[in-house]
Amino acid sequence: MVQPNEGNHITSDSPQNKLIYITYMAKDLDETKNWYINKLGFVVIEDNTYDQFRWLVVGPAKDKDTAIAIVPAITEKQLQRVGSQSFLMSISDINSFYEQTQNNGVVYHGKPQANIGGSDAQFKDLYGNSWNVREHDKGFK
């Protein structure tokens, strides 16, 4: 069993220590950008280009801590990774989110279902990445 080194751990309550981007690869950045904006209602946080390399950062809102950085898949190995990610997004009102995004064309595997500690609904994005949206019961995390 591996024991943590008590003297070298990173404190989770430090404001500098937080996960800000989750990166995944896409075949077409403009198509991906439009899907996340028009289907999920996400906003573009960044749309950057450095020399010939372009990347996007999108998220539910500009003031959220964690966002998705989307980079182009160029090599064959990178293209094989497209659609292999899984995401879990916590939302405050699953039924509202479900109705809104379904009306925008998001195809769910079924209606939101009550589970231990909350309700869930699942869909896949335009490249097949799996998403689970979850509304937690009050007091459950």
DSSP per position, 67-109:
EEEEEE--SHHHHHHTT--EEEEE-S-HHHHHHHHHHTTPPBS
Residue 26 included in any domain? yes
Rg of the chain over all Cα atoms, to the nearest angstrom:
17
- pTM over 0.85, yes/no: no
Range of 104's domain?
Answer: 21-136
In a domain, 1, yes or no: no
Average pLDDT over residues 55-81: 90
| Range name among 2-6, 22-26, 118-122, 134-138 with the lowest pLDDT average | 2-6
Q: Which residues lie closer than 8 Å to 27 by C-beta, 6 or more apart?
A: 72, 73, 79, 82, 127
Is 8 within the bounds of a domain? Answer: no
How many distinct structural domains can be found in the chain? 1
Mean pLDDT within 81-98: 93
In a domain, 2, yes or no: no
Which domain CATH number covers 70? 3.10.180.10
- The predicted structure's pLDDT at residue 66: 83
- H or E stretch at 45: strand 43-50
